[in-house]
Amino acid sequence: MRIGILGAGGIANTLAAVIGRMDEAQVTAVAARDYDRAGAFAQKYGFDKAYGSYEDLAADEELDLIYIATPHSHHYEHMKLCLAHGKNILCEKAFTANAGQAKEIVELAGEKGALLMEAIWTRYFPELNTLRDLLEGGAIGRVKSVEASLGNNLRGWARLDEPELAGGALLDMGVYALTFASMVLGDQVAGFDAVAKISEKGVDLQDSITLRYKDGQTAVLHCSMESMLETRGLISAEQGMILIDEFNHWKKMTVYNKQKEITAVYEKEAGIRGYEYEIREACRCLREGLTESPLMPLQETLRIMELMDAIRERLGIKYPFE
């Protein structure tokens, strides 16, 4: 599979290095807003082509897929551009800035018959299958609650500090916590509570969110872009619990019984970043003629975007372009 990377920032660099070690795919082109930057990037990783405009990349007929690696504030316009040229897309999280944009892109991809996937790597790790087997097999009994937290001091990053760039902790980190809750507890959210610390510019610096589910289960989620939080997920059940270190990329999963004794430990394969799994899934979907991945259905992408919209509305956060 021949991939073009739209954007030449940090994620693009990591992605290029990972794909360079894979057999299933190769990056053949990159685009940045100026040719010099794209050219330097292409030379660094040995790509065939460099483009000084995103339009030129989108028009490249030799590409099988374009990876959108720009800030999420620009995903909507960049996916729209690529779909205008009929391109298949794997787009970084958060998928868009709001649900309205996401719905329009999903509809457009449907009209074009193009593959469209959200690259939230948590959904593509094989460890998720292990977790589901444990839960469905009754390893810890009936699940009662989920907790998830992650945070770093990222103040000073323009894409997070500025409302015009859809900044804030929710879309950058909270999306992982919401996704984790959804993977474990499903989509039957009956209500939620949310509190946040808001910056002078109007973005959320840290969020605490409680989701209430129709059958009485709860999810308590924390994210921060101004302080360090332990990145962990905890699934609490009647007969035990499962603790996941760095749950967003499945570093280590530990199973405890009712006596809080360790009964099993699962660790991520050494040397794996996580991008490998989403790229392999995109390759599989293209081979099989799919237009979305069953591992991260577009309906799930839309639902998470709608939930983040509702949380922002509750917190009084609105981006200038909305």
Q: What is the CATH number of the domain that holds 109?
A: 3.40.50.720
Cβ distance 203 to 168 under 8 Å? yes
User: 295-319, pLDDT tens digit by residue?
Assistant: 999 999 999 999 999 999 999 999 9
Report helix, strand or coil for 170: helix
Q: What is the mean pLDDT of residues 136-158?
A: 95
- Closest to 235 measured CA to CA, from 182, 274, 189, 305: 182
Task: Specify the pLDDT at position 13.
Answer: 96
Cβ distance 160 to 72 under 8 Å? no
Q: What is the mean pLDDT of residues 101-130?
A: 98
Could you tell me what percent of the chain has a pLDDT over 70? Answer: 100
What does the block give as tokens for 2? 């021949």
pLDDT at 6 over 90: yes
pLDDT at 159 over 90: no
pLDDT at 193 over 80: yes
Calpha distance 200→26 (Å, rounded) = 44
Task: Specify the pLDDT at position 303.
Answer: 98
- Closest to 114 measured CA to CA, from 139, 84, 147: 84
Calpha distance 7→172 (Å, rounded) = 17
176 and 248 in a common domain: yes
Residues 90-129 as b/e (b if ≥16 CB within 10 A, e otherwise) read bbbbbbbbbbebbbebbeebeebebbbbbbbbbbbbebbe
Task: Specify the pLDDT at position 156.
Answer: 84
CA 89 from centroid of its chain's CA atoms: 14
Domains in the chain, number: 2
224 and 142 in a common domain: yes
8 and 111 in a common domain: yes
196 and 133 in a common domain: yes
Instruction: With respect to residue 286, please indicate whether it lies within any of the assigned structural domains.
Output: no
Q: What is the mean pLDDT of residues 92-118?
A: 99
Domain with 178 in it: what CATH number?
A: 3.30.360.10
217 and 132 in a common domain: yes
73 and 43 in a common domain: yes
Contacts 24+ apart (CB under 8 A), 11-20: 11/69, 11/92, 12/41, 12/67, 12/69, 13/41, 14/273, 14/275, 15/67, 15/69, 15/275, 16/41, 16/44, 16/45, 16/47, 17/45, 18/273, 18/275, 18/276, 18/279, 19/275, 19/279, 20/45, 20/46
Give strand ranges (E) for the chain. 2-6, 26-31, 49-51, 65-68, 89-92, 116-119, 143-153, 189-198, 204-213, 218-224, 226-237, 240-245, 252-257, 262-267
90 and 132 in a common domain: no
User: 35-78, pLDDT tens digit by residue?
Assistant: 999 999 999 999 999 999 999 999 999 999 999 999 999 999 99
Residue 271 pLDDT grade (very low, low, confident, very high; cuts 50, 70, 90): confident
Task: Specify the pLDDT at position 143.
Answer: 98
At which of 273, 291, 310 does a domain end?
A: 273
What does the block give as tokens for 121? 């790597």
pLDDT at 272 over 90: no
pLDDT at 208 over 80: yes
Instruction: With respect to residue 249, please indicate whether it lies within any of the assigned structural domains.
Output: yes
Instruction: With respect to residue 296, please indicate whether it lies within any of the assigned structural domains.
Output: no
148 and 100 in a common domain: no
Instruction: With respect to residue 78, please indicate whether it lies within any of the assigned structural domains.
Output: yes
Task: Specify the pLDDT at position 100.
Answer: 99
Instruction: State the DSSP H helix or E strand holding residue 200, giving kind and residue range, or none if neither.
Output: none
236 and 153 in a common domain: yes
Instruction: With respect to residue 322, please indicate whether it lies within any of the assigned structural domains.
Output: no
Q: What is the mean pLDDT of residues 134-149?
A: 98
Q: What is the mean pLDDT of residues 10-14?
A: 94
Instruction: With respect to residue 319, please indicate whether it lies within any of the assigned structural domains.
Output: no
Residue 266 sits in which domain range?
Answer: 125-273
Task: Specify the pLDDT at position 282.
Answer: 98
User: 168-190, pLDDT tens digit by residue?
Assistant: 999 999 999 999 999 999 999 99
Task: Specify the pLDDT at position 180.
Answer: 98
Residues 6+ apart with CB under 8 A from 227: 151, 153, 206
115 and 151 in a common domain: no
pLDDT at 86 over 90: yes
Instruction: With respect to residue 301, please indicate whether it lies within any of the assigned structural domains.
Output: no
Instruction: With respect to residue 176, please indicate whether it lies within any of the assigned structural domains.
Output: yes
Cβ distance 48 to 57 under 8 Å? no
138 and 89 in a common domain: no
46 and 176 in a common domain: no
Task: Specify the pLDDT at position 273.
Answer: 85
